[in-house]
Amino acid sequence: MTPNKETPLLRVTELSHYYGDQVGCEEINLEVYNGEVLGIVGESGSGKTTLLKIISGLLPPTQGTIEFDKRIEGSSDIYQMSEPERRLLMRTDWGIIYQNPKDGLRMNVSAGANVGERLMAVGARNYSYIRAESNDWLNKVEMDLGRIDHFPKTFSGGMLQRLQIARNLITKPRLVFMDEPTSGLDVSVQARLLDLVRGLVNQLGISCVIVSHDLGVMRLLSHRLMVMKSGKVVEQGLTDQVLDDPQAPYTQLLVSSILPV
Amino acid sequence: MKNKLREVLSVNNLKKSFILHNQNSFELPVFNNISFSLSKGECLVLSGSSGTGKSTLLRSIYGNYLTHLGEINIYHNQSWINLVGAPPHLILDVRKQTLGYVSQFLRVIPRISTLDLVAEPLLSRGEIEVNSINRAKDILQKLAIPENLWNLPPATFSGGEQQRVNIAITFVRDFPILLLDEPTASLDTKNKQAVIDLIKNAKDNGTAIIGIFHDESVRDSVGTTIFNIEEAKKAA
């Protein structure tokens, strides 16, 4: 069997979204396969986050379809499902990691509860099991276990981001959406976080859609790259090909603007 | 006469040019109408002076550079596929199983130990950890990387050591086809010999190789066929 006959985990067809007469994103087609990391780059206002919101079930698009390959039912349009079905998907098979960790965490419950909550949402009720799993995941994201009962508001930005990752990955999602996961973190914390994400994605075989404007992050994490400008996809292909041999005028400008370190 | 049955790669009328949109869409032609084929156990040496497009040809075959015209047919998973215009996930699959590439420079994730870097491709292919680590150790030993460096990231290594780590990352897997871009450029005689032995060994096991070797001694000891890119361009 050749992999191109596989059903993609996520398939987006002819997707457009308008804010009034303002273009959010236009005519987007994309596919994400199992174990694949898709990166979306583009300048501010190019529609990256709009696209991510739509395909992660947070914003119904003006037109177009988003199909997710469900474990049992197979490929289904996420906006044709009932709300409870979509919600279930969001807390089991999907993970969403927000740019601002405060959007993805509960700031007024402990770190351990933040991580354990998703397990409870899929039916876990045994307290010691939840506690053990939470500890295990906090360990995986290199968190100090002494902090498990502390509130996230006492955590630094890097710790919050790692807590958010643990909270999302504990239910072993098949697809994780990340919006600028490392922006706002200093370089050394950023590097550690990237190692962590990369390692986890490799080990667990998770598919990812990552939005970022940092091309270095993309070269490290993503297999495929999509370049957006003014709501449209101007180029897509293998990450190293897009960065080493960019075809579109905008991508050439983008790549040639990287500052050497 | 080449044996068709042993063929693993054939390039037909391949064209590559760069269009520089930010320089008034200036078109920089590199090559045109390049054709050759490669069989199991063959080592095709690309020759031609600097700037004639040897590395570009290797990168085009690897899919690092995008080509629009011509064909790159490769024997992958018991069937022939054309890499020109192939979807990215298919190219990734080819890179994972069939086609290995050793670049001139080591480009790896910072702060990961050498041993882990070399073992990782095996792990990500689903091999168990003990085996992967053992094979990584074995290849590092063959390439004479001192054992006390194995647990360090290669960023602080010398040029020659980095290059050998780069070779190890690719050679730890048994790719049917290998692309080598000057794998011995900054190596001393002893280490060069280690790399030559590795290439010869791979060749004897049926690996098909396309390589760029500026060093004549290396070229003479591993090469089976010479493909002169300048002459091919003139003929085209």
Q: Do A202 and B90 touch (CB under 8 A)?
A: no
Closest CA to B175 of B100, B74, B77, B95: B100
Asked if B136 contacts B169 with a C-beta cutoff of 8 angstroms, the reply is: no
C-alpha dist (Å) from residue A182 to A158, A239, B1: 8, 19, 57
pLDDT of residue A5: 55
Q: Do A244 and B90 touch (CB under 8 A)?
A: no
pLDDT of chain B along its 236 residues, tens only? 456 678 999 999 999 999 999 888 899 999 999 999 999 999 999 998 888 999 999 999 999 999 989 999 999 999 999 999 999 989 999 999 999 999 988 888 778 899 999 998 898 788 899 999 999 999 999 999 999 999 999 989 999 999 999 999 999 999 999 999 999 988 889 999 999 999 999 999 999 999 999 888 899 999 999 999 988 888 76
Of A163 and B105, more confident: A163
The secondary structure of residue A185, as a DSSP letter, is S
Closest CA to A10 of A45, A49, A57: A57
Of B125 and A133, more confident: A133
Q: What is the rounded CA–CA span in Å between residue B50 and residue B29?
A: 15
- Classified as helix, coil or strand, A177 is strand
CA distance B88 to chain A (A): 6
Q: Which two tokens stand for residue B207?
A: 């690996």
Whether A202 has its CB under 8 Å from any CB of chain B: the answer is yes
Q: Do A244 and B64 touch (CB under 8 A)?
A: yes
C-alpha dist (Å) from residue A104 to A91, A93, A114, B183: 12, 16, 10, 47
Phi/psi region, residue B85 (left: phi>0; alpha: psi -120 to 50; beta: rest), is left
Tens of pLDDT, residues A81-129: 999 999 888 888 999 999 899 999 999 999 999 999 999 988 889 999 9
- pLDDT more than 70, % of chain A: 98
CA distance A90 to chain B (A): 26
C-alpha dist (Å) from residue B2 to B8, B38, B40, B41, B111: 12, 9, 11, 12, 46
Q: What is the rounded CA–CA span in Å between residue B118 and residue A72?
A: 38
Q: Which residues of A touch B89 (CB under 8 A)?
A: 3-4, 33, 36, 223-224
Mean pLDDT of chain A: 89
Closest CA to A158 of A197, A200, A215: A197
One-letter amino acid for residue A82 of the chain? S
The predicted model scores a pTM of 0.88
- Classified as helix, coil or strand, A211 is strand
Whether A240 has its CB under 8 Å from any CB of chain B: the answer is yes
Asked if B51 contacts B5 with a C-beta cutoff of 8 angstroms, the reply is: no
Q: Which range, A54-58, A72-76, A198-202, has the best average confidence (pLDDT)?
A: A54-58
Q: What is the value of ipTM here, to two decimals? A: 0.88
Q: Do A249 and B22 touch (CB under 8 A)?
A: yes
- Residue B104 φ then ψ, to 5°: -70, -30
Whether A98 has its CB under 8 Å from any CB of chain B: the answer is no
Q: Structural domain boundaries of chain B?
A: 4-235
Q: Do B90 and A4 touch (CB under 8 A)?
A: yes
- Comparing CB atoms, the residue among A191, A241, A249 nearest residue B65 is A241
Q: Which residues of A touch B21 (CB under 8 A)?
A: 248-249, 252-253
Element (H, E) at A49: helix A48-55
Q: Do B88 and A33 touch (CB under 8 A)?
A: no
Sketch out chain A's domains with CATH numbers.
3-256 (3.40.50.300)
Please determine, for residue A3, whether its predicted confidence score (pLDDT) is greater than 50.
Answer: no
Whether A230 has its CB under 8 Å from any CB of chain B: the answer is no
- Give chain A's length: 261
Please determine, for residue A2, whether its predicted confidence score (pLDDT) is greater than 80.
Answer: no
The correct answer on CATH 2.40.30.10 for the domain covering B4-235 is no
